[in-house]
Amino acid sequence: MTQRRICVVLTSRGNYGKLKSVMKAILAAPELELRVVVGGSLVLDKYGKVLESEYVDLPPIDRFVHFVVEGENLLTMAKSAGLALMEFSAVFDQLSPDVVMVIADRFECLPIATAAAYMNCPVAHIEGGELSGSIDESIRHAITKMAHIHFPATSEAKDRIIKMGESESTVHCVGSTSLDVLNQLELSSLSEIREFQLNHGVGDVVDLNPRDYLVVIQHPVTTEYGQAYANVRETVHAIDGLKIPTVWIWPNMDAGSDGVSKALRDYREELTPRHVQFFKSLPIELFGPLLSNAGCLVGNSSSGIRETAFLGVPTVNIGTRQNGRQRGKNVVDVMYDSDEITHAIKRQLEIGQYPPDHLYGAGDAAAKIVAKLKSEPIRIQKQNRY
């Protein structure tokens, strides 16, 4: 039996969390063969090297790819994308995948999809068709036009992909893959994250009593590059004034990350907050229970749109990074203003848990994806349907 070789590319902690269930399902399918390529922030110590955590269960890695240029500004992001195009072209030439799997809208995902398409490797795109802020939306839609099979998370996203000229037979609404992992975790227990706190992170160990702590994740917005420091300082003022136990997770590697990081370093050095513990990164195996038991998620991560809706966790979404994205009733949107942020957090804590919302699926996406990868004809030649 000839196996279809599927290459899964992991370049960030979010990629790993979203693709873990897909990799597991591919490994369980005799018709498919898994190839794993790791690069980006996952191979850099400054972002925590999350895959080296003892809590991570990862298949064998076929290639490591280094393409990130130091600096986290607009120039280095563009140069990193160029290096990614060259490096992944070589990797795909060596591995000869039948399908290259790309997820969402990170800046490096576009050169990965480009390299695959140029080399006649069909591209499977997860989470296409969604609206969002920043350069991310343009990247997401550009990947859609390069992809040969599509796995959007919502019916609205599916409709948008078809309206972009993609053949309806290639577009399969499956839900969000990150929810699969949450379904497989023991979310009620905080014992492992409490143990992790003792030997990791920066700052005092904060108490994690269910619903009595905050989780903050605020990434840079590339189209607001010059405002990254000032924007995060507003969140800092709100969190410092509330004095609620808080786990603050470091930003991703997008342009502007240096400004966000500087704001957090200045906060630690100037005020030495005793109620905030900082982490470079957390694997989904720890992040899932942490998020599920939080009183509120604060920031602009897509986790505040997808996973918190599924879990019913209150979210305060700050700024423009998630503009246009479908959200549940658990999300309150505010701008970069410490008073607005403070008021929204207090209000969300008063409301408490929301009913679970399956807007982004029920946590069975991987099985649906693998079923299509096993059986669907995937043609390298594309043609617009309008």
The pLDDT value given to residue 93: 98
The pLDDT value given to residue 47: 84
The pLDDT of residue 158 is above 90:
yes
Q: Where are the beta strands (DSSP E) in the chain?
A: 4-10, 32-39, 63-65, 99-103, 123-126, 149-151, 214-217, 246-249, 276-279, 296-299, 315-318, 331-334
Terminal C-alpha separation, the chain = 38
Query: What 3-state class would DSSP assign to 319?
Result: coil
Task: Please report, rounded to a whole number, the percentage of residues in the chain having pLDDT higher than 90.
Answer: 90
Task: Give the model's confidence band at 9: pLDDT under 50 very low, under 70 low, under 90 confident, else very high.
Answer: very high
The pLDDT value given to residue 253: 85
What Rg, from alpha-carbon coordinates, does the chain have?
20
Contact 98, 122 (CB under 8 A): yes
Alpha carbons 330 and 351: distance in angstroms, whole number: 10
CA 144 to chain centre: 18
Please state the rounded mean pLDDT for residues 152-171. 97
- The string of pLDDT tens digits covering residues 300-359 is 999 999 999 999 999 999 999 999 999 999 999 999 999 999 999 999 999 999 999 999
CA distance to 312, 319, 355, 359, per residue, from 309 (Å):
5, 18, 8, 8
- The amino acid at residue 208 is L
Task: Give the model's confidence band at 94: pLDDT under 50 very low, under 70 low, under 90 confident, else very high.
Answer: very high
CA 110 to chain centre: 15
- The string of pLDDT tens digits covering residues 262-301 is 999 999 999 999 999 999 999 999 999 999 999 999 999 9
For 188-351, give the CATH class.
alpha beta
The pLDDT of residue 201 is above 70:
yes
- The string of pLDDT tens digits covering residues 356-385 is 999 999 999 999 999 999 999 999 999 999
Please state the rounded mean pLDDT for residues 200-207. 95
The model's pTM = 0.94
Domain with CATH 3.40.50.2000 in the chain: 4-175+363-375, 188-351
The pLDDT value given to residue 53: 84
Could you give the angle at which helices 228-242 and 257-271 cross, rounded to 10 degrees? 40
The pLDDT value given to residue 307: 97
The pLDDT value given to residue 1: 60
- The string of pLDDT tens digits covering residues 236-258 is 999 999 999 999 999 988 889 99
- The string of pLDDT tens digits covering residues 106-132 is 999 999 999 999 999 999 999 999 998
Q: Write down the CATH superfamily of domain 4-175+363-375.
A: Glycogen Phosphorylase B; (3.40.50.2000)
- Residue 346, classified by CB atoms within 10 Å of its CB into exposed (0-12), middle (13-18) or buried (19+), is middle
- The string of pLDDT tens digits covering residues 32-91 is 999 999 999 999 888 878 888 888 888 999 999 999 998 889 999 999 999 999 999 999
Q: Provide the 8-state DSSP code for 104.
A: T
Task: Please report, rounded to a whole number, the percentage of residues in the chain having pLDDT higher than 70.
Answer: 100
CA 120 to chain centre: 27
The pLDDT value given to residue 51: 85
The pLDDT value given to residue 57: 84
